[in-house]
């Protein structure tokens, strides 16, 4: 199980990378699009803001990630093994819920991962707002490794050669890449890599 410090670190690094790469919340046109929700962490790009439940966003039937200031987000199973009796939505439930959110409001709705754990992600619901300024970007000092001076999460190894940091399991998984089954869950972005890329 990942500790809160690791989850926060992953979120901060994802936010830094998302801003650097110009990532924005995903507008869902088809249920398969949800597999490509970007990991923004706390970063909110210019032209977007977090949706609020009181803006007509329908609450899911069984689980709401309750945040004091009523920002709309949901917890979703990312392992592919979730069950509809668990607190986190399954991918199938999310695929039915996302279009319902768009149909319930006349807002341009987008989706992005704001937090990732080992088996679940928290998906934030965003709305397009041309007046909104970017916010939530961590400082470079907060995401730079003190050992190697590069930007990578605690789950990625230092790369003293100056190349992008690699996840410690990447080298072992290259030989087994073709043997891995497809996942049914929502991919969890770990840095620039998703769980689908890692399997």
pLDDT at 69: 61
**Does 29 have pLDDT greater than 70?**
yes
What CA–CA distances, in Å, run from 93 to 3, 34, 60, 74, 152? 27, 12, 9, 11, 32
Least confident among 59-68, 80-89, 147-156, 188-197 = 188-197
As a whole number, mean pLDDT of residues 103-128 equals 92
Nearest to 120 by CA among 43, 185, 166, 62: 185
* Spatial CB neighbours of 87, under 8 Å, sequence gap ≥ 6: 62, 63, 75
CB 42 within 8 A of CB 133: no
Nearest to 76 by CA among 37, 107, 26, 43: 37
Q: How far apart are CA 161 and CA 167, in angstroms?
A: 15
* Domain boundaries, given as residue ranges, for the chain: 1-199
Q: What is the pLDDT of residues 153-179, one digit of tens each?
A: 888 888 766 545 444 445 554 554 444
Instruction: Name the H helices within 69-108.
Output: 91-104
**Does 125 have pLDDT greater than 90?**
yes
How many Cβ atoms from other residues are within 10 Å of residue 154's Cβ?
Answer: 14
């Amino acid at each position: 199980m990942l500790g809160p410090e690791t989850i926060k670190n992953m979120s901060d690094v994802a936010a830094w990378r998302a801003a650097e790469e110009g990532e924005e919340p995903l507008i869902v046109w088809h249920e398969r699009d949800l597999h490509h929700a970007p990991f923004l962490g706390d970063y909110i790009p210019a032209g977007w803001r977090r949706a609020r439940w009181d803006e007509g966003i329908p609450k899911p039937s069984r689980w709401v990630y309750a945040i004091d200031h009523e920002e709309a987000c949901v917890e979703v199973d990312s392992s592919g093994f979730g069950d509809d009796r668990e607190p986190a939505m399954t991918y199938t439930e999310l695929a039915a819920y996302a279009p319902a959110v768009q149909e319930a409001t006349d807002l341009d709705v987008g989706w992005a991962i704001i937090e990732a754990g080992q088996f679940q992600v928290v998906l934030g619901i965003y709305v397009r707002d041309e007046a909104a300024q970017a916010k939530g970007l961590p400082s470079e000092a907060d995401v730079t490794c003190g050992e190697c001076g590069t930007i990578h999460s605690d789950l990625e190894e230092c790369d003293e050669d100056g190349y992008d940091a690699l996840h410690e399991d990447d080298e072992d998984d290259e030989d087994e890449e073709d043997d891995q089954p497809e996942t049914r869950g929502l991919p969890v972005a770990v840095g620039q890599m998703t769980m689908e890329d890692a399997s």
